[in-house]
Amino acid sequence: MKIKSTLLGLSAFLLAGMVQAQDGWNFPSDPAQEQKARELNAAYNDYMQSEQFVEATKPLHWLLVNAPDLNEAIYINGTKVYDGAANATADEAQKRVYQDSVMLIYDKRGELYDNAPKWIENKAYYAYQYYKDDKTKVGYIVSTFDKAIELNGELATPALYAYYFNAIYRDYAYNKSFTPEEILAKYDFIQKELDKAEAAGSDMTQTKGTLEQILVAMELIDCDFIENTMGPKLAADPTNEALAQQIFKYSVQYKCLSSSAFLSALELIDSNNPTYATSQVRAMRYIQEQDYAKAQPVLEKALTLAENDAQKAEIQMDLAKVHANLGRKGAARTAAKEAATLDPEKTKDAYSMIAGLYMNSFNDCKGGQSRVKDRAIFMAAYYAYQKAGDSQGMAQARAQFPSKEEVFTEGLQVGSSISTGCWIGESVTIATRD
């Protein structure tokens, strides 16, 4: 898989340590060897300066073998020489020799100078460039990046995290070197590092996009994985909030919101660090499962966490549904009216619900003494539908009005007022269906 990523300033980062001379030269004590070392040191530097990298490898090789502690400069410059030689040759076998030499130079430098934190990230970069297509070597790339992170706590060049995760992907694809859980743990670590870089002012959009593409290409995560692999782990460790956060994140990302694992994760997250969103979604899950008694206190908590009237109106509508399903019609109406007051855009839904509550209350409220009074609740429903702008509902309610004859028979008059009684408790204007 090709990673298209621009590493701004990477060349400067990699070349910053290259030097021509340093203090602390240790030439051989034998005069002849000393003379030769001086001549070859000058020769490889001349070749390097003129970018004749293949030619530079010959004198440099003699120094690395015969005067390995001459000066750290031969290792600092050695990576440039052998990398340049690898890029200059068309012979694949010889190219690999030069590339392997870069890695060996870093290793020897570490033995002699014990300063790997200074250059280990550079080594990881070169390892990726050289070995990313070699399934026998991708594990080496990953371990080198791991070592860089271990030594320094992070990668100083955040864009390199795309290379690191691509190497993990290749090692998984080629060699099954990781479990899906291990890959996700590394992915989450990298995301946090990129978030830190963004907070410091770096643009990580492209790198994050690359990581997301790689994760999708791995095909690690689906709803079954979340439910059957991650879910049991959370069940076994129900206070593991880091795992709960993973489940929550992937459930949202892969649209697995109906799973039991998602609900368990959501319950833990919302209990420990509730937000308007977590409480609302948690309540919605309870409502979907018709567990209205559980939904009510969570919605009431969400109401205290709402940041504006629109959010409060949303919760009031949800509370209205909960009250209605628990048989508390008066409380349902109160909540629905409050929603309409908070957010006028909720007026249609609120009054349609209220009208529905009225329409469904006929059998509970009829007294059987006056047909007109019993049917007054349909008049209340009609006016509620009217507020909602629901002409179809208005027609359905009007069809249940009493007839003119029934109004006349009871000695009442069209246009006069009558109380609905019952829980509705409204005074309505008498009207007929005909």
pLDDT tens series, the chain, 434 aa: 434 333 333 433 343 334 333 458 999 999 999 999 999 999 999 999 999 999 999 999 999 999 999 999 999 999 999 999 999 999 999 999 999 999 999 999 999 999 999 999 999 999 999 999 999 999 999 999 999 999 999 999 999 999 999 999 999 999 999 998 899 889 989 999 999 999 999 999 999 999 989 988 988 888 999 999 899 999 999 999 988 998 998 898 889 999 999 999 999 999 999 999 999 999 999 999 999 999 999 999 999 999 999 999 999 999 999 999 999 999 999 999 999 999 999 999 999 999 999 999 999 999 999 999 999 999 999 999 999 999 999 999 999 999 999 999 999 999 999 999 999 999 999 999 99
Classify 204 as helix, strand or coil: coil
Distances (CA, A) of 300 to 164, 197, 249, 334: 45, 38, 24, 14
Predicted pLDDT of residue 246: 87
Q: Tokens representing 46?
A: 């001349």
Residue-wise burial string across 201-212, b where 16 or more C-beta atoms lie within 10 A, e elsewhere: eeebeebbebbe
Closest of 293, 255, 251, 301 to residue 276, by C-alpha: 301
Half-sphere exposure of 66 (CA within 13 A, CB side): 19
Q: Tokens representing 50?
A: 């003129």
Q: Check if the beta carbon of residue 123 is closer than 8 Å to that of residue 144.
A: yes
Distances (CA, A) of 383 to 73, 335, 376, 389, 406: 90, 18, 11, 10, 21
Q: Check if the beta carbon of residue 285 is closer than 8 Å to that of residue 249.
A: no
C-beta neighbour count of 42 within 10 angstroms: 11
Predicted pLDDT of residue 216: 85
CA separation for the pair 361, 356 (Å, rounded): 9
Predicted pLDDT of residue 219: 87
Q: Tokens representing 145?
A: 């990046």
Residues forming beta bridges with residue 417, ordered by sequence position = 429
What values do phi and psi take at 90, rounded to 5?
A: -95, -10
Q: Check if the beta carbon of residue 147 is closer than 8 Å to that of residue 110.
A: no
CA separation for the pair 45, 56 (Å, rounded): 7
Q: What is the DSSP string of 328-349?
A: -HHHHHHHHHHHHHH-GGGHHH
Q: Which amino acid is at 142?
A: V
Residue with tokens 């909602």: 388
C-beta neighbour count of 55 within 10 angstroms: 18
Residue with tokens 């007051």: 341
Closest of 277, 344, 334 to residue 307, by C-alpha: 277
Q: Tokens representing 78?
A: 């050695």
CA separation for the pair 72, 61 (Å, rounded): 14
CA separation for the pair 419, 428 (Å, rounded): 6
CA separation for the pair 139, 301 (Å, rounded): 49
pTM for the predicted model, two decimal places: 0.64
